[in-house]
Amino acid sequence: MARERLLVLLAGAGRAMKAQDIAAAIGEDVSDTSQGRRVETTRSRLKRLVKEGRVVEEPTAWFALAPAEGASGREARPRARGIDGWHRRGHTPRKRRDPAPPCGGTGSRDDS
């Protein structure tokens, strides 16, 4: 239920919002007496929606509804954390390191 409220709020806002503003807008207690617990719960829900690809976090700590696939002319890029060689930010391929050479060698020397 709360996830749907988050998505409806972000769709209506049409812009990126901070987690505290989102928590306040959906009726969570963001006062000092709650010690930020409800804001962190909201942030956790938003992060889960980011992993699902329904929300984007750009720049850091600013959340917005993810654009529909093909709406901007770009297809969704992989957002895995390094599994397939992509960074989270910028989605640029990581440089692969060559494996370390074996220690000790073959035992023979070519002195020619």
pLDDT tens by residue, 1-37: 788 999 999 999 989 999 999 999 998 888 877 777 8
**What is the value of pTM for the model shown?**
0.58
Tokens of 67: 């654009």
| 59 preceded by a cis bond (ω within 30 of 0) | yes
Q: What contacts 61, CB < 8 A, 6 or more positions away?
A: 18, 19
CATH, domain 2-65, list 1.25.40, 1.10.3470, 1.10.10, 3.30.70:
1.10.10
Q: Looking at residue 3, what DSSP letter applies?
A: H
